[in-house]
Chain A
Amino acid sequence: MSRRAVLATGAVGLGASLAGCSSSGGSGGGDGSESDTIKIGVLEDRSGNFSLVGTPKWRASKLAIDEINADGGIMGKQIELFDPDPQSDNERYQQLTSRLIRQENVDALWAGYSSATREAIRPTIDRNEQLYFYTTQYEGGVADEYTFCMGPTARQQLGSVVPYMIENFGSDIYTIAADYNFGQLSADWVKVIADENDAEVIGEEFIPLSVQNFGSTISNIQDADPDFVMAILVGANHSSFWNQRTSAGLEIPMGTSTVMAQGYQHKRLEAPALKDVYGGFNYMEEIPTSRNEDYVSRYYDKFPDAGYANEESINNYFSIYMYKQAVEEAGTTDQEAVRDVLESGMEITGDRSPEGDISFQGPVHHMTHNMRVMRCDAEHNITVEDQRKIPEQFLSETVGIDLSGEDDGMTKQFTPVEYFDEAGS
């Protein structure tokens, strides 16, 4: 009797500890070994808080990979995709990143929507020297040997829309921003750019991510009476602002670097919630070039139920093609060789980049983007008001970083307050 019970309990213990064994061989295999597929990991949220903006990223990645595979793959090898769902949970990201690196031995990794996620996995990335593409627009300043930032930085986005707004509406600016790193750093950049354009930020307001009632914010804006408002709002709760400000009769034009292109509020909210909102983005689905229209129709052919092709998703799309280009130029998937190729700079042209021809700035691991100011009118139609190529300037010019040369191996993040007097409060 007792022996049976012991065996039973023991079996449970054995089962529990061994059941997690995956069938793939070996942990920590070499990355120089030549296998017959190219392994790519894509960790994008399809559930949880960020699924609205994460699912398009996954879709665009899948589109790029399937197109490449149909076209013969990279150097004749098919791409094998590993894409579990991290559920907008940083702990899950950490576990899955470790798994993809150590167990699946991915040759390149795309992961994460929020900056917090990037920071949560960057130690693992750096420790394992894993080639990593971060594709969301973010606050800027990451100078990391293994991290390649594909999205526009806050300075690039604000640098396209803020001067436009100053020129067209006036020089008194009121900033409302999400109360966390990205929002606060973006607000700093607004101050820097305003100073560069002889304008002034007359008031700032920071709103926690959980807030969805904007009565006091709307009153404060009305009292301050600025020429325009910079609204750097993030997340589902903040989307309630637009309905509320319109139904409250707030008519002041607003600029943004986050709304519309990521969370497609102009399609989800009833017009005229986003009337007279101007956004500085490298991409929106509505860009009227034939190249982009072709891309959008391919996207919806593959995913007829998709809600929108958002700004982030295009960064996934072109960066996968960029990786293909780099591997072909290096002649190998060896990650250090691929990094070296990328660090000598690269142009991404044609169908691989629906936003337009763009280039990769090798020494700082960031992109020069085709920035547009896009306006949403009362019927929620999108028009392009201004267009310029804007390079990443903070790391390349202000701080002066060269990851291909003297700063090889660096893993840091810089913030504007260390370099500009106007930033910080």
Chain B
Amino acid sequence: MKLGSDILPSRLKSIITKLNGPNTLGNSRVFWAAFGVGLLLLVVQPLIRGSYAAGQFSLFLAYGLLGLSLSIIWGYTGILSFGQVAFFGIAGYTYAIVSLNLGGALGPTVALPVAIAVATISAFILGYFMFYGGVRNVYVAILTLVVTLVLETFMAQTAGAKWAIGSVKLGGFNGIPGIRNFTLGVGESSFSLSGSEFYWFVLAVLLFAYLGSRILVNSKYGYSLVAIREDEERTAMLGYNVKKVKLAVFTFSGALAGLSGIFYANWGNYMDPSVFTITFATIPIVWVTLGGRESLLGAIVGTVIIEWLRKWFSINASEFAIVFVGLILMITILFIPRGILPGIRDMYVFFNAHGLREGIEHGRDTIQSRAQTLLGSVGIDISDSETPGSSEVMRE
């Protein structure tokens, strides 16, 4: 990327070059330009739409971190984990407990690193238990799911005064309300983040996490992740300590998921066991699959789009909302198998190579052929060639 490269200090330049690599889909100047435009729009959103709307949108950005964590562990390393929400919830609860116990402006400030630490340690323990015990593939998925469900069963019955840590009651099914917002600064000069300020804070953290993850996956370490995803035994035979790599990446993505959970607790000022349910554990997988699991940005974009759509449907479509969401999931998987962002990239690459008109034709042909195969399986024939023996021929 040449932005007058002699102007930039060499350290910055080397970081910038590390951002690009074979393991991320978008590396070109066009990509970064589009990224810049999108980022700019996100930054000015609160100024256009107001603090309330920004505060609402910040939930989607917080979820983006969760999607990012799943993309790293699943998209890049091939480990399907239903347990990201477990660390999400553990961190959220820890943040609630610590910040409410300590109180004041110091409480949330201390609670943030403590909560991340607890989530990280939990991920480490679970990862060690699984990977150093030889648990693989679908068993990892089910085991992480079961752990999440154990947490749900346990937390849902922690009602009553005896289930308290310090002065904070765990609250059982009713959860922990009144969680205080994260604050910057101490004492007199502190201010708590809500609305637009909270939005920018989350956006900044998300950006940082995204860029950091890009550097990670494009590095030599990233190669080992992809190698494990492609063929674990061969990678082990080539001398990599596969268990250690898996444990490290699981821990790292657990930390990211935990960070997401802390922002969630801040957004709603509330934490309850519904974050440990099987439905919530499956949702991140939906986000990432639709956005493009092998693309970091795809995971984030998919998360934002899906969550925004779900909210929009619930406001505007009342009882049909869930039906529409289900339909969109099914149609997207069947028609855009690799996910939205890789799909866009493929489209862009094609357009680039073949020009606009051919691109449109190709797109039309693809949609037509896919619709044909789908409808053909239930016996409806929409092809316009006359095949002998076709009973129903519908002209377009």
Contact = CB atoms under 8 A, between A and B. Distances in A.
Contact present between A and B (CB < 8 A)? yes
Given A2-B29, A6-B30, A27-B52, A91 B321 contact: no
Contact of A181 (B29, B38, B159, B322): B159
Contact of B41 (A10, A27, A210): A10
A87 interface: yes
B175 A9 contact: no
A209 interface: yes
B372 interface: no
**Chain A CB within 10 Å, residue with most, of B172, B174, B304, B351:** B174
Contacts, number: 160
A337 to B, nearest CB: 25
A87 B153 CA distance: 22
Contacts of B29: 2
Interface string A99-141: 1001100000000001110011011100000000000000000
B112 to A, nearest CB: 19
A253 B318 CA distance: 42
Taking each of A14, A20, A182, A208, which has the highest tally of chain B beta carbons within 10 Å of its own beta carbon?
A20
Nearest to A10: B37
Interface string A1-43: 1101110011011101110110000011000000000000000
Contact of B30 (A5, A103, A182, A206): A5
Contacts of A425: 162
A404 interface: no
A57 B49 CA distance: 34
A60 to B, nearest CB: 17
A179 interface: yes
A146 to B, nearest CB: 14
Q: State the main secondary structure of chain B at its contact with A.
A: helix
A90 B314 contact: no
Contacts of B231: none
Contacts of B316: 84
A272 interface: no
Contacts of A13: 34, 37-38, 41-42
Given A17-B41, A95-B56, A418-B161, A27 B322 contact: no
A417 interface: yes
B352 interface: yes
B213 to A, nearest CB: 20
A178 B48 CA distance: 48
A123 B30 CA distance: 45
A16 B305 contact: yes
* Interface range, B side: 35 or more
B159 A184 contact: yes
Contact of A90 (B59, B156, B270): B270
A116 B272 contact: yes
Contacts of B312: 20
B157 interface: yes
B282 interface: no
Contact of A92 (B156, B177, B314): B314
A354 interface: no
B217 to A, nearest CB: 21
B173 A181 contact: yes
B53 interface: yes
A94 interface: yes
B156 A120 contact: no
B132 interface: no
A425 B30 CA distance: 66
Nearest to A411: B178
Contacts of A95: 56, 59, 311
A415 interface: yes
Contacts of B37: 6, 9-10, 13
A87 B319 CA distance: 8
Contacts of A102: 52
Nearest to A103: B52
Contacts of B268: 91, 94, 120, 123
B12 interface: no
A293 to B, nearest CB: 30
A104 to B, nearest CB: 11
B139 interface: no
A13 B57 CA distance: 14
B342 to A, nearest CB: 14
A16 B175 CA distance: 33
B162 A424 contact: yes
A4 to B, nearest CB: 8
A46 B318 contact: yes
Interface in B20-34: 29-30, 33-34
Contacts of B179: 123
Given A20-B312, A180-B172, A123 B177 contact: yes
B308 interface: yes
Contacts of A103: 52
A85 B314 CA distance: 6
Given A85-B314, A95-B311, A180 B161 contact: no
A322 interface: no
B274 to A, nearest CB: 6
A47 interface: yes
A96 B314 contact: yes
Nearest to B149: A210
A415 B163 CA distance: 13
B51 A84 contact: no
A-B pairs with the 5 shortest C-beta distances?
Answer: A9-B34, A180-B173, A181-B159, A13-B38, A10-B37
15 contacts: A10-B34, A12-B38, A16-B308, A84-B315, A89-B274, A90-B272, A98-B55, A114-B173, A116-B175, A120-B175, A120-B270, A123-B178, A180-B172, A185-B160, A424-B161
Interface of A: 1-2, 4-6, 9-10, 12-14, 16-18, 20-21, 27-28, 46-47, 84-87, 89-92, 94-96, 98-99, 102-103, 114-116, 119-120, 122-124, 179-182, 184-185, 206, 208-210, 415, 417-418, 424-425
Given A94-B268, A98-B52, A116-B272, 20 more contacts: A1-B351, A6-B30, A10-B41, A16-B305, A20-B53, A20-B57, A84-B316, A85-B318, A85-B321, A91-B59, A99-B315, A102-B52, A115-B173, A115-B174, A116-B173, A119-B272, A120-B177, A120-B268, A181-B160, A208-B157
